[in-house]
Structure 1
């Protein structure tokens, strides 16, 4: 039976499909992977070869860029031996099998980081066969460094909030509250916000006091923190305010007294300093003995000279001149310290009356000082 053209075409396509089925093939595996920051994960990529795949085996892993305008980042390459590439995964990625040519092109990523999340592509080429596949990796961060605190006045009858927040952790995060002391159940007036982490308490009472625990949770882990609630009777606010005012006034009063005495002391010191440096111009300086003696001698000589001048020129001219000159010469030749006290010459009573003197009666005194 002769074969028609259509039959020949169908036979050719069948033979070609059989050849393709026996060529390089990637085995099915997970398409989505989830990891935890700090852990490690294996991304599968296993394959089979056909006898007609005689070319050189090339294996490449890429981190697909989310931006079509940027090129993909090469993670690791195998061409006879593995060649890790530069980038954020340097030193943290390697092939699982030491001999990937045996059919295992899977890779292991250690010390996972949140930035490692993305789409990875495995490409296996052995001419004439070429195959590739993509897998998705999501890296999550466990909740950590969760902090609890009370917001509001912890007094009877007051409304307050107990808050909880994790500083680290992949979203979505959820929160739950437990009481771990006392009655070990939440207050009847308490309402919890699972997404915000707030436990609101209305009209607090002393029975609400105790230790509370907050659990922060996401899909890969949990964390917790504790807070102590201590509800006490209301404080005497008016008394506290009055005490604060009285204390402030007393402080101002004491401060004012200190300033007053300091200013007064400063003024006294300034006054004493001015008195010590003040120059008294109304008091004449004391006269020296020399000047006193000279003035006394001069006055006596002047008086004697005037008295003798009243005598006749013929009798007293030579005497007065000689006596006067002698006194002056002795006074000028001697130093002031050696000038003797001048004693005027005694004159008889008749001579005094002739010189115009007026007699004066001087009362006598007894030894005890009384006038006779």
Structure 2
């Protein structure tokens, strides 16, 4: 007799009991034979556990040693198989075969061991600047397929919400989303959830969009600082050069007056000038001293002359006989008196004009 095939789905690391009930125990208890077979990807089925001749054999498959056993009293009609700590390798088609006194009963069960996705890895690709395009990736290495991937945004309060308008899911690969023409609105945390029938795992990636205006401000500040430093260095350099030039000029310029410098010319005052009245009170005393000094210098000059001063010969009228008259003798005493008088008169005249 054969029973209909059933299916079990269990999560990895869980325990499962595959049912198998029979009535052959009522016949000859000593001749009862029970056997569980597993047919997986291999062609030939493998014996999982068996009872024969009053003995139980349950270490026939290396991967299942210590994890398989009869769940109940198989001698009373319950030959169910219990598998603990399920592994993906336990999945397959199980057959419970009971034989006694030439009669057979069969039970077929399909076991699916579901493995939840491994903790996914999240990452981002692209330049995180305004106007750029980035991609968010998510992937679980292990897990029973199919694995579903979903993306959500986490706000400041930790609540999950919808994606921003510029985000689009890649239909050919739902684990990837594109965010085009980035703006500051895209800044935040994004959570990827990988899930299947066994469970789910999540990962989080952070997106920080850099503002274009901030980049411009930083560049402007840097340029301003560099320009300011350049001006400071230029001012210091010019000051040093100016001091060096001044020092050089002071060392090279002669301290004594040039010999060929022209003496200042005396300014003559015309008689009757209108400006004499305005300056009379200021220069009265100085004029008197000038007059006295001039007279003194004239007398010293005349007294120190060693030779008499000869005046040019003045020609008078011709004598009647055509001969020139004899030159007159010069009286040196009279000449000295005349020159002294002539020298003092102009000085006194100037003094009177100044007054």
Return the TM-score normalized by structure 1: 0.53
Q: Does 1:221 find its partner at 2:199?
A: yes
Matches within 5 A, 1:283-322: none
Q: Secondary structure at the match of 2:75?
A: helix
Q: Distance in 2 between matches of 1:163 and 1:30?
A: 41
The one of the two structures with greater contact order (alpha-carbon pairs below 8 A, sep at least 6) is 2
Return the offset for 1:62. 1.0
After superposition, the Cα gap between the structure-2 partners of 1:55 and 1:126, relative to the gap in structure 1 and judged at 3 Å, is farther
Return the offset for 1:55. 5.8
The residue that corresponds to 1:247 in the other structure is none
Return the offset for 1:149. 1.2
Q: Distance in 1 between matches of 2:186 and 2:102?
A: 76
Which piece of structure 1 moves more, 75-84 or 28-37? Answer: 28-37
The residue that corresponds to 1:73 in the other structure is 46
After superposition, the Cα gap between the structure-2 partners of 1:147 and 1:137, relative to the gap in structure 1 and judged at 3 Å, is same
* Greater Rg over alpha carbons, structure: 2
Q: Distance in 2 between matches of 1:84 and 1:50?
A: 21
The residue that corresponds to 2:298 in the other structure is none
Matches within 5 A, 1:155-166: 155-166=129-140
Return the offset for 1:29. 7.1
**Could you give the per-residue CA deviations for residues 47-90 of structure 1, whole angstroms, max 9, x where no partner exists?**
1137555661110011125444xx32111111224221332211
The residue that corresponds to 2:128 in the other structure is 154
Which runs of no fewer than 5 residues in structure 2 stay unpaired?
A: 224-355
Q: Does 1:200 find its partner at 2:178?
A: yes
Cα RMSD for the two superposed structures: 2.9
Which runs of no fewer than 5 residues in structure 1 stay unpaired?
A: 1-24, 244-372
Q: Distance in 2 between matches of 1:50 and 1:35?
A: 30
Q: Decide which of 10, 15, 33 is 1:35's aligned counterpart.
A: 10
Q: Distance in 2 between matches of 1:207 and 1:196?
A: 22
The residue that corresponds to 1:181 in the other structure is 155
After superposition, the Cα gap between the structure-2 partners of 1:50 and 1:110, relative to the gap in structure 1 and judged at 3 Å, is closer
The residue that corresponds to 2:189 in the other structure is 211
Q: Secondary structure at the match of 1:158?
A: coil
Q: Distance in 1 between matches of 2:80 and 2:25?
A: 19
Q: Does 1:191 find its partner at 2:168?
A: yes
How many residues are aligned here? Answer: 214
**Could you give the per-residue CA deviations for residues 316-369 of structure 1, whole angstroms, max 9, x where no partner exists?**
xxxxxxxxxxxxxxxxxxxxxxxxxxxxxxxxxxxxxxxxxxxxxxxxxxxxxx
Q: Distance in 2 between matches of 1:165 and 1:65?
A: 28
Provide runs of 4+ in structure 1 moved above 6 Å: none
**Could you give the per-residue CA deviations for residues 234-257 of structure 1, whole angstroms, max 9, x where no partner exists?**
457xx7xxx9xxxxxxxxxxxxxx
| Conservation of the 8 A alpha-carbon contact between 1:74 and 1:85 | no
Q: Distance in 2 between matches of 1:36 and 1:81?
A: 31
